[in-house]
Structure 1
Amino acid sequence: MTGNPISPTVPFDQDGINHGFLRLPYSRDDSAWGSVMIPITVVRSSDGPTALLTGGNHGDEYEGPIALQELAATLKPEDIRGRVIIVPALNHPAFLAGTRTSPVDQGNLNRSFPGKPDGTVTQKIAHYVDTVLIPMADIVLDYHSGGKTLDFVPFAAAHVLENKDQQAACVAAMQAFNAPYSATMLEIDSVGMLDTAVEQKGKVFVTTELGGGGTATARSIGIAKKGARNLLKHTGILSGEQELSPTVTLDMPDEECFVFCEQGGMIEPVCDLGNTVAEGDIVARVWPIDRTGANPVEYQAKRSGILMARHFPGLVKMGDCLAVVAKVV
């Protein structure tokens, strides 16, 4: 017993395919006995590994939800060996609002782990994932993109871990996903992340950043769809050959990868995503927006590599991440 109020309307240990919800009671002004209903699909066929596939951890990122909705509609029990748990929009209130954080409690789900069974709505979702879903899984894929404020070259990622055997398994799974770029990713703040919760339990974990700008493209969706099936084939859950293409290997070795803004204004990108930059190259200029006749502030790359990420909206605030430069391995 976890003490968590979420109850599934689908069985986890029954062969076949079941579509339903994770039902979280949520009493509010417009529904005294209301619930948050998080869609979930469980596909199972005999014994075998379990894959947990999640999207919508942030509500303004769409490649994962699209790819997982299609997978939930097309994956058949007779095609697999094991179990696939699909949650296309993990932070469903945020997903419905098209926002990074939940409109219910302003919670950032990917900074809320391990959560609390008696906490806010977002903390209860995190706690259920942490205590029920992750322990069932052998491998976890959590889709991300840049949302409304960042844009990325499309990459799958693994992290540097103390357990090198576990890290090697994560890297192999990342390579199997086979995005155009494959990155060893440095998180600015890993406290409270789903990534950390999964990795601390010794599981294999893969994440992505597949684009951004609060939308998806045909290309980024195609990468997401192919990657999920490649990963299921890699684990032996799904039969068949993986669909593989060349991938560029990236590394984020330290905080010198990040360029942060020190005043607000209007951003002028000086290079585009995927461009090669040298240490000292200007990657962006920030122009004042409250006066004319003033020069912009120029921001330089702190290392050589490629432009992996950039700020997306035209206006920036103090403290915003302007650019990320990753090393090509």
Structure 2
Amino acid sequence: MRASPISPTVDFSAEGVQHGFLRLPYSRDDSAWGSVMIPVTVVKNGEGPTALLTGGNHGDEYEGPIALFDLARTLKAEDVSGRVIIVPAMNYPAFLAGTRTSPIDKGNMNRSFPGAPDGTVTPKIADYFQRMLLPLADIVLDFHSGGKTLDFLPFCAAHILPDKAQEAKAFALVSAFGAPWSMKMLEIDAVGMYDTAAEEMGKVFITTELGGGGTATARSAGIAKTGVANVLKAAGILKGSVEATDTTWLDMPDGNCFSFAEDGGLIEPLYDLGNRVKNGDVVARIYPVGRTGVAPVEVKAKMDGILAARHFPGLVKSGDCVSVLADIVD
């Protein structure tokens, strides 16, 4: 396979603190020899594990970038044992545009792995992470939230894995993160995900969903900042003790967690995040908007649980995810 076109302006093996870029050549109308300049920070001090910390995998999710831009400016080498690689905005073009996917090629970074060095911009970035950055890492924390179209209870999550030792390490870091909620997460489409790429390499991978609506709050940003510090401390990379917090464990046992719209229209939520829902309850109504006097379509829960996520905008399209339910784990 050909070499990656991305060149880092930092040395991942050098001691100390370095701020630089992952430079991807990108010829375009307004810059014939232009580049996409993805900010990166590396902090290394002696021997120890490597943490790869990423945000902005989707460009309209902000808790991760807030926490990681802040960590990049404040983390000191003397407080680290090992190495921390910080990329606050993986899909940098999408982050600058405030969109889920790249405005350049419409690439969804979290469906683009393993990527391709001769692809368009998004698969080129994915390829660099796949072949250059993930192999350096022992643990990977990738921040997400609901973006503009979903809203979540704030949780840290890991996946059920065939390798139970790998799974146990991941759930230990989820617990250390200390979000108000902790999730055993089920993906409806894991093909091409950064998560899958990292887990198939045997990395300890954790992620988050910390809110949504295309913005961050003081609470959700605070959860992200405390959580990333806790993970680094629990991994033995950052000095200090994990900040103890209470968390409630949730489980997404199967596909009945998800409800999808079969009709478009105006959505009326009937439950709020964290509310308990019974199997068969109407979680939302969807009103046709072409005329008055027409009964709304009811979207019903297919399991008992609590509402962990919901559609965010007031209008919904056919095929949109309306709600996600989860079990509380005793």
Tell me the TM-score normalized by structure 2: 0.99
Partner of 1:33: 33
Aligned partner of residue 224 in structure 1, secondary structure: helix
Is the Cα contact below 8 Å between 1:2 and 1:131 reproduced in 2?
no
Partner of 1:208: 208
- Measure, in 2, the Cα distance between the counterparts of 1:205 and 1:212: 22
Residues 20-60 of structure 1: CA deviation (Å, up to 9, x unaligned): 00000011111110000000000011111000000000000
Partner of 2:169: 169
Partner of 1:320: 320
Q: 18-27 vs 237-246, which deviates more?
A: 237-246
Partner of 2:271: 271
Aligned partner of residue 13 in structure 1, secondary structure: coil
- Measure, in 1, the Cα distance between the counterparts of 2:129 and 2:69: 19
- Measure, in 2, the Cα distance between the counterparts of 1:172 and 1:54: 19
- Measure, in 2, the Cα distance between the counterparts of 1:218 and 1:32: 41
Identity within the alignment, %: 69
Partner of 1:83: 83
Aligned partner of residue 117 in structure 1, secondary structure: coil
- Measure, in 2, the Cα distance between the counterparts of 1:292 and 1:211: 34
Equivalent position amino acid for 1:277 in 2 = V
- Measure, in 1, the Cα distance between the counterparts of 2:167 and 2:234: 16
- Measure, in 1, the Cα distance between the counterparts of 2:64 and 2:11: 23
Aligned partner of residue 69 in structure 1, secondary structure: helix
Equivalent position amino acid for 1:218 in 2 = A
> What does residue range 137-152 of structure 1 map to in structure 2 within 5 Å?
137-152=137-152
Partner of 2:260: 260
Partner of 2:219: 219
Partner of 1:119: 119
Residues 137-180 of structure 1: CA deviation (Å, up to 9, x unaligned): 00000000000000000000000111111111111111111111
- Measure, in 2, the Cα distance between the counterparts of 1:2 and 1:80: 35
- Measure, in 2, the Cα distance between the counterparts of 1:236 and 1:295: 58
Shift of residue 2, structure 1, vs aligned partner: 5.9
- Measure, in 2, the Cα distance between the counterparts of 1:266 and 1:188: 24
Aligned partner of residue 107 in structure 2, secondary structure: coil
Check if 1:60 corresponds to 2:60: yes
Partner of 2:185: 185
Spell out structure 1 runs of 4+ moving beyond 3 A.
none
Partner of 2:132: 132
Equivalent position amino acid for 2:279 in 1 = E
Residues 111-138 of structure 1: CA deviation (Å, up to 9, x unaligned): 0000001111000000000000000000
Aligned partner of residue 325 in structure 2, secondary structure: strand
Is the Cα contact below 8 Å between 1:311 and 1:321 reproduced in 2?
yes
Aligned partner of residue 151 in structure 1, secondary structure: strand
Aligned partner of residue 168 in structure 1, secondary structure: helix
- Measure, in 1, the Cα distance between the counterparts of 2:27 and 2:139: 34
Aligned partner of residue 148 in structure 2, secondary structure: coil
Tell me the TM-score normalized by structure 1: 0.99
Shift of residue 207, structure 1, vs aligned partner: 0.4
- Measure, in 2, the Cα distance between the counterparts of 1:2 and 1:168: 36
- Measure, in 2, the Cα distance between the counterparts of 1:167 and 1:6: 32
Shift of residue 261, structure 1, vs aligned partner: 0.3
Aligned partner of residue 171 in structure 2, secondary structure: helix
Q: Mind listing any 5+ residue stretches in structure 1 that lack a counterpart?
A: none
Shift of residue 240, structure 1, vs aligned partner: 1.1
Equivalent position amino acid for 2:174 in 1 = M
